[in-house]
Amino acid sequence: GQQLNQSPQSMFIQEGEDVSMNCTSSSIFNTWLWYKQEPGEGPVLLIALYKAGELTSNGRLTAQFGITRKDSFLNISASIPSDVGIYFCAGRRPGANSKLTFGKGITLSVRP
């Protein structure tokens, strides 16, 4: 079963607002990834994090790898309507080959 916790299940924000999502686990991960999925499509990688404490940006997106290696957050600044979608965190555990464990995802809605 899945070991990454994402909540709430849905978030509703106004265009232009910032939003922050986090992902927690009871286990240590040595890689944290954030994906976005739109209807009928596969997940698309947004940001990859490989070191505890690492802070990485990709345009309006910023993500951090928690110091304890058991959490990560994603921040979206100045949201726009095309940010709508499902945001998944995923992690790779030590010794887990290349397989990823995903959270359940957060559905983001942006009101114009």
Partner 1 sequence: GAGVSQTPSNKVTEKGKYVELRCDPISGHTALYWYRQSLGQGPEFLIYFQGTGAADDSGLPNDRFFAVRPEGSVSTLKIQRTERGDSAVYLCASSAQGAGTEAFFGQGTRLTVV
What residues line the site for partner 1 (CB under 8 A)? 2, 4, 33, 40-45, 48, 50, 88, 90, 97-105
What phi, psi does 83 have (nearest 5°)? -75, -10
CB-based contact 64:54 (threshold 8 Å): yes
We find the least distance from the C-beta atom of residue 32 to partner 1, in angstroms, to be: 11
Within 10 Å of residue 8's Cβ, how many Cβ atoms?
9
CA 103 to chain centre: 9
Of 24 and 77, CB closest to partner 1: 24
Of 28 and 44, CB closest to partner 1: 44
Of 56 and 77, CB closest to partner 1: 56
